Amino acid sequence: MTAILETKGLGKSFGRFAANADIDFSVAQGELRAVIGPNGAGKTTFFNMLSGTTDVTSGAIFFKGCDITRLSGTRRVHLGIAKAFQTANIYPEQTVLQNCRLAALAHTQGAFALEVFRRSDRLTDVDALAERAIEQLELSGVAGVRSGDLAHGDKKRLDIAIALATKPEILLLDEPVAGMSRDEARKTEALIRKLASSMTVLIIEHDMDLIMGISDSITVLESGSVLANGTPAEIRANGRVQDAYLGGHSEAEIES
């Protein structure tokens, strides 16, 4: 299958500390890929480099064969790479709909500037993108609610909806079910499955039941580098992966 996103020798150092080193990574268009690893394995730093919110120290990132290593995060969003964060990145005083409209408007009109608050010639497109994102995350019932008043699970889903409102081809999800109840997590899992039918999804998550049940393939990081790649079945049976997880997860979690 054709790779939509690749990294070659990707690394990030903070002083003498290497958060990531020599990561060769490739994800196919339409794939749902999980990136897992013990705490401190470098997963979020890796995602931040892919999204452009953290500068790269070494190596390169390619999107559809084009080198995007030095492009800003804003430019990458316009190309079609969007990220939802560990902590919901929302405007708490704005409604759910207003949050999604701002993201859609920035996508429609270009990089964020004062003109995003002026009347757009493409308001119909903006409204359609925002409303579609809200529907996809099943937030229509709270579209007019102030975002800061939402329950935790709805805030996390709103963050994903904001990313969707930018019309991405690749969606990066950093711990999308963290802090959710089991029922909320399973609802979000089902929504992610639906999203993956129409775009490439990369996901970081510590919920091993979710990861093993939802992923097409899995990349395991340890100490900032790739430890293993494979299908859920291959990763579940990998002794090196089980050993790496002993510090933060039991073997029973990996094998469940």
At 248 the pLDDT is 45
Sheet holding 225-230, edge to edge: 81-84, 170-174, 200-204, 32-36, 217-222, 225-230
At 87 the pLDDT is 73
pLDDT tens digit sequence for 58-108: 999 999 999 999 999 989 999 999 999 777 688 999 999 999 999 998 777
Statement: residue 136 has pLDDT above 70: yes
119, 161, 195, 206 from 154: Cα distances, Å: 29, 10, 17, 19
Q: Which residues contact 69 (CB under 8 A, 6 or more apart)?
A: 56, 59, 60, 61
95, 101, 114, 124, 133 from 120: Cα distances, Å: 20, 12, 12, 9, 19
pLDDT averaged over the chain?
Answer: 89
pLDDT tens digit sequence for 233-251: 999 999 889 887 754 444 4
Residue 102 token pair: 């701002």
Q: Give the lowest-confidence range in 122-126, 152-156, 178-182.
A: 122-126
Statement: residue 129 has pLDDT above 90: yes
Residue 211 token pair: 């990861």
Confidence at 125, pLDDT banded by 50, 70, 90: confident
Alpha helices in 6-122 (DSSP H): 43-51, 73-79, 96-109
79, 184, 202, 224 from 131: Cα distances, Å: 21, 22, 23, 38
CB 216 within 8 A of CB 222: no
* Helices 152-164, 123-136: crossing angle, 10 deg rounding: 140
Whole-number Å distance between alpha carbons of 122 and 113? 16
Backbone angles phi, psi at 176, to 5 degrees: -65, -20
Residue 182 token pair: 């089991």
pLDDT tens digit sequence for 5-38: 999 999 999 999 999 999 999 999 999 999 999 8
- Dihedral sign of CA atoms 74, 75, 79, 85 in order: negative
At 10 the pLDDT is 98
At 123 the pLDDT is 67
- Dihedral sign of CA atoms 245, 251, 252, 254 in order: positive
Residue 1 token pair: 């299958």
Residue 37 token pair: 């690893």
The structural domains of the chain, ordered by start, are 1-70+207-256 (3.40.50.300)
In whole angstroms, what separates CA 39 from the centre of its chain?
Answer: 17
Rounded percentage of the chain residues whose pLDDT exceeds 70: 89
